[in-house]
Structure 1
Amino acid sequence: MTALKQYQRIEATGLWRPTPDEQRREVVVSIGEATLTISDFNDRALTHWSLAALERQNPGAYPAVFNPDGDPGETLELAETETTMLEAIDRLQRAIDRARPHPGRLRWLSVAGVVIAVLAVLLLWLPGALQRHVVSVVPDIKQQEIAQIILQRIERVSGRACTSADAQASLDRLAKRAGVRQIVILPAGVPDSLSLPGGTVLLNRALVEDHEDPAVVAGYIIAARARAEYQDPLDELLDRTGPAAAFRLLTTGQLTAANIDTYTEEVLTRPRPAIDDDDLLAIFAQAALPSTPYAYALDITGETVLGLIEADPMAGRTLEQVLPDRDWVRLQNICGE
C-alpha cells in the first residue's frame, strides 16, 4: 500500500485497556501493513487490531479513544501530542476505504445508468413513437376538421377562398382526376400548392389563371400529393408543434389555436421540400397524367427538369383529357366572379 510506506516506522505510546474492568496500561503502538500492533515495553505483542475495523469513539476530541470494530470495551487512548500516529491512522483508514469494494456505490451507479437509459428512451424514442401513433389513429373526419381550421387561419392572410356555384363541379372533377379529396383555390398566401391533412390541396389562383393547359395545374396537385406521401401533412403539423400537441390531440382530439398558428406561419413562409423525380413520376403514372407540362411550368427552358420531361410516363400515349374546355374556363374565372 503506497500510503503505508512513509508510516512503516512510526511508533507511539498510549493507554490500552483490554476490558472495562481492567486498569489501563501504558503500551507501545506501531503500524503494520494492515494492522495496528499494541505491545508492552518488552516488545511483546499484546494484541493486533485491523486498521480497516478500527473505530474512533470520540472524533475531534482528545485523548483520542479507539476500539476494534464490535468491541467498544477494549480501548486504546492516544494523546493529542501523538499527531504523527493519529494522522497515520486517519490516512491509512481512508486509503483502505478507497481500496475496498463499495457495493452501495455500484448499486447507485447501476440505478443511475438504468434511469439515464429510461430517460433517453423517453426523450428520444417516445416522442416519435407517440407522433407516429397519433398520425395512424386520427380518423379522416378529424383530419378534415383540422384542415378546415388551418384553412380559416390561412384565409386571414390570403383572403377568402374563391368560390363559384358554376365552377364547383369543375373543381370537384379536377380533384377526382388528380386523385385528391378536395381542392381549394386561394387568391393569395400559398406560393403554389399545399397539402393539408385529410386530403385537401390548396392552390394559388395564379396556377389556374396563368396557364392554358389544365395539365399544369394537375401537375402541381400531383406535386402536393408526392409531398404528402413523403410526409403525411398531419405528421408535418405535429413535427412543427411538438410532442405536447401530439399528446393533446390523442387525449382530447383537439389542437390549440397556438398550434395551428405555428404550423400555418411556418408552412407558408418556409420553402417546401424538394421531391425526388422518381417519386413524382410514380404518382404521375398512377394518375395517368403527363409530367411534361408541369416540368415546363417550373422551368421554361427544361434544363433543370429534364428528368420529368424525358421520363414522362404518358409520353407517346393517348391522353385522357384532364378537364373539358368548358370546365377549365369556369375554373380560370373562379376568383373573378
Structure 2
Amino acid sequence: MAGGFGRGGSAGRTALSRYALLESTGVYRDGVSQHPQEVVVRFGEASLILMSFDDMPVAHWALASLRRVRAPGGDRAALSLTPEPDDAWGDAEGDESLLVTDPEMIRAIEEVCADLDRRPSRLPQILRLLAWFAVAAAVGAALVIWGLPYATQRLADLVPPAQERKLGDAVMARQISLMGVGEDPVCATPEGDAALKRLSDRLLAGVRLHVPVTLEVIRSPQVNAFAAPGGRVAILSGLLESASGPDEVAAVLAHELGHVAHRDGLRALLRQAGTQGLLTLFLGDMAGGSLAGLTQMALTASYSREMETQADAFAHQMLGEAGLPAGALAEFFGDLKAMQGRQTEGLARHFGSHPDLDARIEAAEAADRLEGGAWRPALEDSDWIALKEICAG
C-alpha cells in the first residue's frame, strides 16, 4: 500500500528518533500458522521490527503500510495492525496481523504512522466488480446469439433421421387434427399428385437432403405451408387458391424445404426440450408419453429470425438453380403485407410477426438471377390447373 509515515517530513523523523529505543511486546499472527506468537516490537528506520524473545527477526513491516483494525474484546487501548483494515484482528486467513496493548507503544505508532486510520478506496474493487458483470453479460449474450444456435444445430445433427421422421409423422398428424379440416384432410387426385411431384422434382434436382421429402396438400382455407421434422412438408389449399401462379407456390415450397435442410423443426424443439428431449430422440424412446410430449413441444416451438433468414437464403439458391425467379418469393411477401391489414390467417400472420418483412423482400429481389429475363414456369398451365383443383374432388 502507498502512504507515508510521520505527520510531515522532519516531524516524522524526529518522532522516530525519539522512539528509537522503545520496545514492547505484541502478539503476532503470520497468516499461515494457526497459533499466534508473542514477539518484541521495535522501531526501525522506516519499519516496525518484530523479534522473537531469543532476538531473532520475525518480520519487518513498513510503517507506511500499517493500518488499524478492530481489536478483540472491545478493548479500545489495543491496536491491531494488518494490511487488510476491514477485518478484526485474527479474522482473515492469510493476513499478517499484530496486537499491541502497551499504551506508550500505541501512542508512538499513532504519532509516526499518519495513515494508520486511512481506509483504501473501494472504487477499484467496484470497478473490478462492474467489469466482471460486464464480461458475464457479454458472455451470456454471446451464448444466446452465437452459442445457442450453434449448440442446437450440433445437437440436432446427433438425432438419427429415422427418429426425426417418426417425430415428424406425429407432429404432422397432430397439426392436421388441430386444424379441424374434416375426415379426409389430405387432398389427392392422379393429375394433382403428378403435378406436385413434377414441382418437387424440379426444385430438388441435384439437392441432397438427409431425409426423403414427403409433400402433400392439406384441405384448409388458411394461406399457409409448413414443414415438420423428418422431411414432412404440407401445402394448404388456401395457398394454392390465393397464389398468383405456380412460381409463388414454388418459392414458398423452397422456403419450407430450407427448414427441412437445416432441420429447423428439430432445432426449435431442442431449444425447448433440452437434454431430455435429445436423449429421447437419440435413444429411440419414442413411445407413449415421451412422443406425445415432444410432439406438443414441437407444435409450440417457433423458428428464430435467424432460421427464417437462412431458409430464405436456401430458397433463393434453390430457385436460382431450378431456373426460377427468386423474385416470386418477394412478390409473395408483398402479397402478405397487403393481407396483414385483413387479418389473414396462416402464413400471412406468421410472416407478419417478423418486423423485417421489407428486408426479406429486398433480399429476394436482389437474389433473383433471372433479372426479368425469360424462364420456364414452375409448372405448365395444365399441371397448375390440376394442382389448384387437387382438393376439388
TM-score range, shorter chain: 0.5 to 0.7
Instruction: Spell out, residue by residue over 1:66-102, the C-alpha distance to the aligned partner (whole angstroms, 9 max, x if none).
Output: xxxxxxxxxxxxxxxxx9999989x9877996239xx
So what's the TM-score if we normalise by structure 1?
0.57
> Larger C-alpha radius of gyration, 1 or 2?
1
For residues 150 and 364 of structure 2, what CA distance do their matches in structure 1 show?
A: 35
Instruction: State yes or no: 1:247 paired with 2:263.
Output: no
Q: Structure 1 residue 209: deviation in Å?
A: 1.5
Compared CA separation, residues 99 and 188, structure 1 to 2 (3 A): farther
Compared CA separation, residues 222 and 11, structure 1 to 2 (3 A): closer
Instruction: State yes or no: 1:203 paired with 2:203.
Output: no
Q: 1:163 corresponds to which residue?
A: 187
Q: 1:135 corresponds to which residue?
A: 156
Q: 1:80 corresponds to which residue?
A: none
User: Of 322, 327, 330, which aligns to 2:383?
Assistant: 327
So what's the TM-score if we normalise by structure 2?
0.50
Q: Structure 1 residue 219: deviation in Å?
A: 1.0
Q: 1:99 corresponds to which residue?
A: 96
User: Is the 1:158–1:187 Cα contact (8 Å) retained in structure 2?
Assistant: no
Instruction: Spell out, residue by residue over 1:94-141, the C-alpha distance to the aligned partner (whole angstroms, 9 max, x if none).
Output: 7996239xxxxxxxxxxxxxxxxxxx9xxx799877744442243433
Q: 2:50 corresponds to which residue?
A: 34
Instruction: Spell out, residue by residue over 1:43-62, the C-alpha distance to the aligned partner (whole angstroms, 9 max, x if none).
Output: xxxx569989xxxxxxxxxx
Q: 1:176 corresponds to which residue?
A: 201
Compared CA separation, residues 92 and 144, structure 1 to 2 (3 A): closer
User: Of 145, 149, 156, which aligns to 2:170?
Assistant: 149
Between the two proteins, the alignment pairs up a number of residues equal to: 257
Compared CA separation, residues 298 and 280, structure 1 to 2 (3 A): same
Q: Structure 1 residue 184: deviation in Å?
A: 2.6
**Paired amino acid for 2:174:** R
**Paired amino acid for 1:175:** S
Instruction: State yes or no: 1:273 paired with 2:298.
Output: no
User: Is the 2:225–2:256 Cα contact (8 Å) retained in structure 1?
Assistant: yes
User: Of 272, 294, 300, which aligns to 1:259?
Assistant: 294
Compared CA separation, residues 264 and 9, structure 1 to 2 (3 A): same
Q: Structure 1 residue 152: deviation in Å?
A: 1.4
User: Is the 1:30–1:36 Cα contact (8 Å) retained in structure 2?
Assistant: yes
Q: Structure 1 residue 197: deviation in Å?
A: 2.3
Instruction: Spell out, residue by residue over 1:268-307, the C-alpha distance to the aligned partner (whole angstroms, 9 max, x if none).
Output: 9999834687654222112222233332232159995355
Compared CA separation, residues 135 and 268, structure 1 to 2 (3 A): closer
For residues 307 and 92 of structure 2, what CA distance do their matches in structure 1 show?
A: 65
Instruction: State yes or no: 1:295 paired with 2:347.
Output: no
Q: 1:41 corresponds to which residue?
A: none
**Paired amino acid for 2:322:** A
The Cα RMSD (Å) is 4.8
For residues 378 and 166 of structure 2, what CA distance do their matches in structure 1 show?
A: 29
Q: Structure 1 residue 238: deviation in Å?
A: 1.5
Q: Structure 1 residue 208: deviation in Å?
A: 0.8
User: Is the 2:156–2:267 Cα contact (8 Å) retained in structure 1?
Assistant: yes
User: Of 189, 194, 197, which aligns to 2:226?
Assistant: 194
User: Is the 1:144–1:198 Cα contact (8 Å) retained in structure 2?
Assistant: yes
For residues 135 and 210 of structure 1, what CA distance do their matches in structure 2 show?
A: 35
User: Is the 1:143–1:234 Cα contact (8 Å) retained in structure 2?
Assistant: yes
The range that moved more, 149-158 or 257-266, is 257-266
Q: 1:221 corresponds to which residue?
A: 253
Q: Which 5+ residue runs of structure 2 have no aligned equivalent? A: 1-15, 17-21, 27-38, 43-48, 60-74, 82-87, 98-138, 205-211, 339-356
**Paired amino acid for 2:162:** I
The range that moved more, 180-189 or 157-166, is 180-189
Q: Structure 1 residue 145: deviation in Å?
A: 1.8
**Paired amino acid for 1:159:** G
Instruction: State yes or no: 1:308 paired with 2:364.
Output: yes
The range that moved more, 221-230 or 256-265, is 221-230
The range that moved more, 267-276 or 252-261, is 267-276
User: Is the 1:241–1:262 Cα contact (8 Å) retained in structure 2?
Assistant: yes
Compared CA separation, residues 132 and 227, structure 1 to 2 (3 A): closer
User: Is the 1:192–1:207 Cα contact (8 Å) retained in structure 2?
Assistant: yes
For residues 152 and 178 of structure 1, what CA distance do their matches in structure 2 show?
A: 25
Q: Structure 1 residue 148: deviation in Å?
A: 0.7
Q: Structure 1 residue 247: deviation in Å?
A: 2.7
Compared CA separation, residues 190 and 249, structure 1 to 2 (3 A): farther
For residues 230 and 297 of structure 1, what CA distance do their matches in structure 2 show?
A: 22
Q: Structure 1 residue 151: deviation in Å?
A: 0.5
Q: 1:185 corresponds to which residue?
A: 217
Q: Percent identity?
A: 18
